[in-house]
Amino acid sequence: MKTSLFEKFLNINSWMVTLALLGVAQSGLSQNRFSDEELLAMERPIAGIQSFWLEELTFLEIRDLIANGTTTVIIPTGGIEENGPYLTIGKHNLILEASCPAIAEKLGDALCAPVVKFVPGGNIDPPTGAMKFPGTISLNAATYEALLTDIANSLRQSGFSDIVFIGDSGGNQRGMENVTTKLKSEWEESSARIHFVREFYSPGWEETESFTEQELGVAESSHDGYHDDIWVTAMMMVSDPEQVRFEQRVEAGLASINGVAIFPLEETIELGKQMIEFRSELTANAIRDSINIKR
Ligand SMILES: [Zn+2]
């Protein structure tokens, strides 16, 4: 039997309607199949993976890590600011990308929350400090403290027992300290504790500098006059040499900072790794001390 074009068209159309209806029914089903309680109680259907970054884990992996003693979470604060002519404006975040997992690994029972990339960086209008430079994103103190408060309260709600602020930039410290003071009293009845570990910033930076000079024999011999130095450059290169514009600087004959050459590439990355190792050890010890004092 011959079907007319029109009949074919009708058939196709009814198929499409059927498929569309099925689609709606299925998506409706998948949304309602498990209750929140069932999801929270389910066994992991697949093996977990190893990551120190909270955002790279599933909620089931996080649930099981907390239940098995991974009860500390670090909230690292970075920034988006001017950093001299060679370094990208994400410098602080890039340094934390390498440092935070190293600290968590040393602690053995810790994860890293996503890096807080937005921090105070000067008055917006009229602009002061880093805000005078294109690309900088600045929060006023109240916005920053509100952001940190909500992140810390969320992580307490997840079941972490020790919530730790560390920050790579000077302008971040005051806000973390204020929020910690406030949450300490708000959490008094709770089993969770809030910590501000200034040591990552200070003496973390200074001690890493003297370690590099005294133990590794690498010291700056001049000052190029930029918001940049061999410590930030080498630590950034551990995560991504492109963000210090390594190749372009080699090409332009500008592959040094404050009198220290940044090539060969592998050597500077190795230097950065040693800096991060030192600074992470110092910070992990300070976090452990803070947790032990509070218990
Ligand atoms: Zn900074």
Give residue 150 CA to ligand 1 midpoint distance, Å: 23
Amino acid found at 265 = L
Give residue 124 CA to ligand 1 midpoint distance, Å: 16
The full set of domains in the chain, from first to last, is: 54-292 (3.40.50.10310)
Per-residue pLDDT at 30: 54
Give residue 176 CA to ligand 1 midpoint distance, Å: 15
- Does residue 129 contact residue 121 with C-beta atoms inside 8 Å? yes
Give residue 174 CA to ligand 1 midpoint distance, Å: 13
Distance CA 197, CA 291 (A): 10
Dihedral angle of Cα 33, 35, 38, 42, to the nearest 10 degrees: 50
Per-residue pLDDT at 67: 98
Nearest to 166 by CA among 78, 234, 238, 90: 78
Distance CA 82, CA 228 (A): 10
Distance CA 1, CA 80 (A): 71
- Does residue 262 contact residue 268 with C-beta atoms inside 8 Å? yes
Give residue 55 CA to ligand 1 midpoint distance, Å: 24
**Ramachandran assignment for 171, one of left (phi > 0), alpha (psi -120 to 50 degrees), beta (any other):** alpha
DSSP state at residue 42: P
With H, G, I as helix, E, B as strand and everything else as coil, classify residue 248.
helix
219, burial (CB in 10 Å: exposed 0-12, middle 13-18, buried 19+): middle
Per-residue pLDDT at 233: 98
Q: Which residues of 37-48 are buried (b: 16+ CB within 10 A; e: fewer)?
A: eeeeeeeeeeee
Per-residue pLDDT at 9: 47
Per-residue pLDDT at 32: 73
Give residue 170 CA to ligand 1 midpoint distance, Å: 6
Distance CA 23, CA 41 (A): 28
Give residue 185 CA to ligand 1 midpoint distance, Å: 29
Give residue 291 CA to ligand 1 midpoint distance, Å: 27
Q: Residues 250-282: pLDDT tens digits?
A: 999 999 999 999 999 999 999 999 999 999 999
pLDDT tens digits, the chain, 295 residues: what are they? 444 554 454 454 454 444 444 444 454 455 678 999 999 999 999 999 999 999 999 999 999 999 999 999 999 999 999 999 999 999 999 999 999 999 999 999 999 999 999 999 999 999 999 999 999 999 999 999 999 999 999 999 999 999 999 999 999 999 999 999 999 999 999 999 999 999 999 999 999 999 999 999 999 999 999 999 999 999 999 999 999 999 999 999 999 999 999 999 999 999 999 999 999 999 999 999 999 985 5
Distance CA 167, CA 116 (A): 9
Confidence (pTM)? 0.89
